[in-house]
A and B are shown apart, each in its own frame.
Chain A
């Protein structure tokens, strides 16, 4: 572990993986939220897209990854796209539940008081969706972590997944742990330093039992 860290390879591979996680996560959450809200609010959109969501939801990650590499090529776009596509239906389904549960009474308040689109989005819509987005983010982040490694193992020449693949071929348990342990630490840090404070912030108005 120390040798890998000293040479800078560990940091480089960790950074490559983190960048892929971040890109795939942002893509999946962004599209997932927009599509989820549209499906939750418009029955026609829901009917058209629902079959595709169910298909994507149940398609094995491996199938999507192989198809992406075969169709798009062995490149970064295919890698990130495949991960995002694996996470996307998950985000859609969760956010759609949130959009279905939106409070019509508050909608009417916004309408009567002629609130601007921005105010409606920022202060009426998003706070109602926040718990659902947070739930999608948490389950999604863990899914993205796992799938990014598989994607790297199969078709990338750097990243934690690639290095674990090398370790597997060499039966080098020390190398595997050298990557697995820092990876777990980074994951825990993101969970406690980013995800949890965000959740606390969006739930600050709730009445908490003492």
Chain B
């Protein structure tokens, strides 16, 4: 991982990535994946289940090394990560969970994030007493509190009911747009990808290669079921082709 380029720009050029398996053998998880995101761009990463989406996100975050290829993050760029599970510190309350990750965040910044995500009343709660939806919001608050240049989200709305997922999606978009954060969202839902992203990146079966990069030019508020149907069909065709 090296740091270069403009702030907020993410360059991914992975040629291959292999990981040791529990059996002792090494298995190739990622193949050739190259893309770049400009400042404030939002991309969704879709692909068959188990294809390596999470692995790619972890490689971008520097949690696993890329053997062949590189990931370029902006110089001194801050990286916010929303894991698939909320991963909060159970022994610290909501506010401490956010502030420990973002010691530089001011009180007013924290207040603003908490109020956008509806967490103001829960600041003193411990994670064990939160519902999954609330815990997810805390994880999102934590990622935003560090003032990220790049935001990585790993299925942030999985296993939430539809209405709650929809509301959280709106809250997330409000934060991303207000702060102009370059974002990469892993999802298995094609609809979610189309509603959220400026671009949809489609990965193949394992080892995952980038097989298509579908731009979505339509303004976000115009993306209703009828209008997105053709794009949806295009993405589904790509997904079923491999």
Contact = CB atoms under 8 A, between A and B. Distances in A.
A205 B128 contact: yes
A119 B63 contact: no
B85 A105 contact: yes
B100 A123 contact: yes
Nearest to A103: B87
Interface in A116-130: 119, 123-124, 127
B92 interface: yes
Interface residues of B, number: 24
Contacts of B93: 205
Interface of A: 105-106, 108-109, 111-113, 115, 119, 123-124, 127, 202, 205-207
Interface of B: 61-63, 79, 81, 83, 85, 87, 89-93, 96, 100-103, 126-129, 142, 146
A109 B92 contact: no
A105 B199 CA distance: 29
Given A105-B83, A109-B87, A207-B129, A115 B63 contact: no
Given A112-B79, A115-B100, A124 B61 contact: no
A113 B83 contact: no
A112 B81 contact: yes
Contact of B89 (A108, A124, A206): A124
Contact of A113 (B81, B91, B126): B81
B101 A106 contact: no
A206 B128 CA distance: 7
Contacts of A108: 63, 83, 87
Given A105-B87, A124-B89, A206-B128, A113 B63 contact: no
